[in-house]
Amino acid sequence: MSDLENSIMTIIHMFHKYSKNKSTLKKTDLKDLINNEMSHFIMNIQDKETLDQVFTDLDQNGDLEIDFQEFIALVAMVTSACHDLTKTC
Ligand SMILES: [Ca+2]
């Protein structure tokens, strides 16, 4: 597979790893995923208020879980922000 295809598979694998092979991430799963896998791009989530805000922002359908579509929106936002930063370097 190409580097891009491998990266896509890694994103899918990370979702399943932290959702424990269920179809959604719960709040604590999201916190663990961000803090363990995105620590260079997103500041660690340490307090409940920040976690609640991030979770609410991502939970578009309000079912109190993060499905893959909602997760991929986070990946897209972080990727876009990272791209913008690399353009200024
Ligand atoms: Ca949701």
Q: Does the CA dihedral 89-30-75-5 come out positive or negative?
A: positive
Element (H, E) at 11: helix 3-18
pTM for this prediction: 0.89
What is the 54 CA–ligand 1 centroid distance (Å)? 12
**pLDDT tens track of the chain, all 89 residues?**
999 999 999 999 999 999 998 999 999 999 999 999 999 888 889 999 999 999 999 999 999 999 999 999 999 999 999 999 887 65
Q: Tell me if 68 sits within 8 A of 15, measured CB to CB.
A: yes
What is the 2 CA–ligand 1 centroid distance (Å)? 31
What is the 3 CA–ligand 1 centroid distance (Å)? 30
What is the 86 CA–ligand 1 centroid distance (Å)? 31
| Rounded distance between C-alpha atoms, residue 44 and residue 76, angstroms | 18
37-41's contacts with Cβ under 8 Å and 24+ in sequence apart are 38/78, 41/78, 41/81, 41/82
